[in-house]
Amino acid sequence: MTSNETTQRVAIVTGGSGGIGRVVAERLAKDGMQVLVHYSGNPQRADEVVAAITAAGGTASSAQADVADEAQVEALFDTAEQRYGGVDVVVHTAGIMLLAPLTELKLDDLDRMHRVNIRGTFVVDQQAARRLRSGGALINFSTSVTKLALNNYTAYAASKGAVDAITLILARELRGRDITVNAVAPGPTATALFLEGKPQEVIDRLAKVPPLERLAVPEDVAEAVAFLAGPARWVNGQVIYANGGAI
């Protein structure tokens, strides 16, 4: 019998203080997991997520870390183990998106996305691979834009293409460990970050792309995460496109 069958499962959700990450944290808590809500720079938003989970009868707490700093991420996992006894699920939603045509993107912005989206994924996954208990699940966040090929997303999609590669190879490197490694690749999702600054006609056009003819809401994406974090033990080394059939 594995440890996660005898104790309550524990999840770390990076970027869990807002947007899709918040809804993922709340969903996993609803599914009975103890959740460590990671945040980068806004403790108040993380506290709001913890309060919402607690009010709904769940167990959660928050912790800060720079996902690209290996010492801070190691400390984040230490915190989860000290508070809850171990780690069974890691959902890495933390990332940044800076958009511009390739010819106009500032190289400083490219470097920022490389640090957070690629190095951050590598650092978090490295700790997850070392710390996850048997029966565990690691879920990275990619994007459907790697297939949709939308203008202005060149650098962002490139950074998430690296996440896909890390995911597929790490799943094989963990052979024999009973740990699944997958990525969720959302399409356009109605979060404040996505909607900000976009004209209504652009939003309406993107909503018509999927055959279901609407934007995703964070709960749609959290459903896919919950599947991979729980019952989907035979789904491994995959990128799951949660986009309503847009591609």
Structure tokens belonging to residue 208: 């018509």
Q: Which amino acid is at 82?
A: Q
Catalytic residue among 39, 84, 153, 156: 156
Q: Is 156 among the residues known to form the active site?
A: yes
Please state at what angle helix 43-55 crosses helix 19-30, rounded to 10 degrees.
30
Q: Which residues form the catalytic set?
A: 156
